[in-house]
């Protein structure tokens, strides 16, 4: 069985290299491999039972049943992982697993069946039996990123290269990071766009370079150019050729130090930080500095695993992906709502928190008259939330007009109507 502590590392590069195997579709097509069901029947699989409970709102038993089943799945996974040897190795990443199964039930329970179910006027109860295999977490993470999409990056590195100060947009460090990350499928905001923003929006870009994701910076990065993760930092090369003088008077030795921070543009939350240094040697000074930066970038982002010949990510990228998935399964969406009085707004909050699949929490952040700002924490994308909201508008007791939607905010014109 694969150890859970390396699952995310394996996944990041598997999604970028489908021809090497690793995604579910590839495994299913290779006749020599185990099928998924066979895979989960191998040593470590555990079968158990758990009861799930959910409240019934507005006599919507179908939704309550779904939530009760998900609750049972969550409890079963937690129960099984807590009683198996492999489960002990899951402790490090269990919060990620918990968020995944609570958000959309990512198939962590196999061969499940409903043992019993019953309901009264208020509650729905389901007893579920199923098999849990800790190794399936690899596929859960794969499904999560396939669903939410790999984040699109913007890289802003202030670089001192051979005594020259290079502003973000076309630095040696940025070029090498994009080349290495791009080789495994990550996308970036085009460098020409970054350079243009540095000229036209220097004030906002300066705040972005320090990690200050204010609302105007967020609108520029996320809504205008689609950057979901911002990597900021500094890079500096220095001469250390004196260490080679005893061996060669012609060779140049340089050292590079790179300090990076990754920020989730949706929330402004820091995803990961790192600081690494490395040397580089060449007869030409510029090339020696370039090699030093290349060596640091390899340390930070990973390189080829000599034992397997495949790419292996560094801890910095591991942490970005893991934390981004956590954020994606608990995404903050800002709603700007008009047309509801106090009672209507209260009803709206209660209805979407209890009736919209994927909604985890609803917080009102202020109101003026019949206008209010609400934060919704949702397991999914803004488009999925809007689709669910429109589909259930009548059952919720509202009519909605939605003139504007963006990756992290929605404008809603609401009207309460009789059911």
Rounded Cα distance between 149 and 328, Å, is 10
Stretches where the chain sits below pLDDT 70 are: 1-45, 81-107, 134-149, 244-249, 303-311, 418-419
**CA Rg value for the chain:** 25
What is the Cα–Cα distance from 21 to 17, expressed in whole angstroms? Answer: 7
pLDDT attached to residue 15: 35
User: C-alpha 354: how far from its chain's center?
Assistant: 25
For the chain, the straight-line distance linking the first and the last C-alpha, in angstroms and rounded, comes to 53
Q: Provide φ and ψ at 342, rounded to 5°.
A: -60, -50
Question: CA 208 → CA 155, 156, 169, 181, 289, distances in Å?
Answer: 10, 8, 13, 21, 27
Furthest-apart CA atoms within the chain: distance in Å: 88
Give the predicted TM-score (pTM) of the model: 0.66
With vertex at residue 272, the alpha carbon angle to CA 24 and CA 259, rounded to the nearest 5 degrees, is 125
Are 9 and 318 contacting, i.e. CB atoms less than 8 angstroms apart? yes
- Per-residue three-class SS string for the chain: CCCHHHHHHHHHHHHHCHHHCCCHHHHHHCCCCCCHHHHHCCCCCEEEEEEEEEECCCCCHHHHHHHHHHHHHHHHHHHHHCCCHHHHHCHHHHHHHHHHHHHHCCCCEEEEEEEEEEECCCEEEEEEEEEECHHHHHHHHHHHHHHHCCCEEEEEEEEEECCEEECCCCCHHHHHHHHHHHCCCCEECCHHHHHHHHHHCHHHHHHHHCCCCCHHHHHHHHHHCCCCEEEEEEEEEEECHHHHCCCCCCCEEEEEEEEEEEEECCCCCEEEEEEEEEEEEECCHHHHHHHHHHHHHHHHHEEECCCCCCEEECHHHHHHHHHHHHHHCCEEEEEEEECCCHHHHHHHHHHHHHHCCCEEEEEEEEEECCEEEEEEEECCCHHHHHHHHHHCHHHHCEEEEEEEEECCEEEEEEEECCC
Name the residue among 335, 342, 352, 343 with its Cα closest to residue 57: 352
For residue 354, give the nearest of 64, 62, 51, 118 by alpha carbon: 64
Closest listed residue to residue 185, CA positions, set 156, 151, 143: 151
Going by C-alpha positions, the residue among 237, 241, 323 that lies closest to residue 278 is: 237
- Residue 373 φ then ψ, to 5°: -115, 130
pLDDT at 20: 36
> Could you report the per-residue pLDDT of 258-314, keeping only the tens digit for each?
999 999 998 888 999 999 999 999 999 999 999 999 999 999 988 666 666 666 778
- CB-based contacts of 308, cutoff 8 Å, min separation 6: none
Q: Are 188 and 228 in contact (CB under 8 A)?
A: no
The rounded distance, in Å, linking the Cα atoms of 357 and 353 is 8
- Nearest C-alpha neighbor of 86 from the set 27, 48, 46: 46
pLDDT at 200: 93
Cα 252 to Cα 281: distance, rounded to the nearest angstrom: 6
pLDDT at 41: 41
Instruction: Give the per-residue pLDDT at 8.
Output: 40
């Amino acid at each position: 069985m694969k150890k859970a502590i390396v699952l995310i590392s394996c996944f990041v590069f598997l999604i970028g290299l489908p021809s090497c195997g690793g995604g579910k579709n590839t495994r299913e097509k290779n006749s020599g491999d185990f099928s998924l069901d066979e895979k989960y029947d191998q040593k470590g699989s555990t079968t158990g039972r758990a009861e799930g409970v959910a409240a019934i709102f507005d006599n919507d038993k179908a939704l309550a049943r779904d939530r009760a089943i998900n609750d049972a799945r969550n409890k079963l996974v937690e129960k099984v992982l807590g009683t198996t040897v492999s489960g002990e190795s899951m402790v490090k990443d269990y919060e990620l697993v918990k968020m995944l199964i609570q958000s959309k039930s990512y198939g962590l329970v196999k061969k499940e069946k409903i043992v019993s179910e019953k309901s009264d006027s208020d509650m729905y109860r389901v007893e579920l039996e199923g098999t849990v295999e800790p190794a399936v977490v690899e596929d859960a993470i794969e499904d999560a990123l396939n669903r939410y999409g790999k984040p699109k990056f913007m890289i802003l590195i202030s670089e001192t290269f051979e005594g020259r100060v290079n502003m973000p947009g076309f630095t040696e460090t940025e070029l090498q990071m994009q080349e290495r990350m791009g080789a495994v499928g990550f996308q970036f905001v085009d460098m020409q766009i970054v350079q243009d923003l540095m000229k036209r929006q220097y004030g906002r870009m300066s705040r972005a370079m320090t990690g200050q994701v204010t609302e105007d910076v967020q609108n520029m990065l996320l809504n205008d150019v689609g950057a979901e993760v911002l990597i900021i930092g500094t890079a500096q090369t220095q001469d250390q050729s004196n260490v080679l003088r005893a061996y060669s008077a012609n060779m140049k030795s340089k050292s590079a130090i790179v300090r990076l921070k990754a920020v989730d543009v949706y929330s402004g939350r820091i995803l990961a930080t790192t600081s690494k240094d490395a040397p580089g040697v060449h007869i030409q000074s510029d090339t020696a500095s370039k090699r030093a930066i290349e060596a640091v970038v390899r340390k930070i982002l990973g390189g080829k695993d000599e034992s397997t010949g495949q790419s292996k990510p560094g801890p910095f990228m591991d942490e970005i992906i893991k934390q981004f998935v956590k954020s994606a399964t608990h995404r903050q969406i800002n709603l700007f709502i008009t047309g509801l009085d106090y009672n209507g707004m209260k009803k709206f909050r209660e209805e979407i928190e209890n009736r919209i699949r994927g909604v985890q929490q609803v917080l009102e952040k202020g109101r003026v008259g019949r206008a209010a700002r609400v934060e919704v924490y949702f397991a999914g994308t803004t488009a999925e939330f809007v689709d669910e909201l429109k589909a259930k508008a009548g059952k919720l007791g509202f009519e909605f007009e939605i003139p504007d939607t963006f990756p992290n905010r929605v404008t809603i014109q609401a009207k309460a109507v009789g059911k």
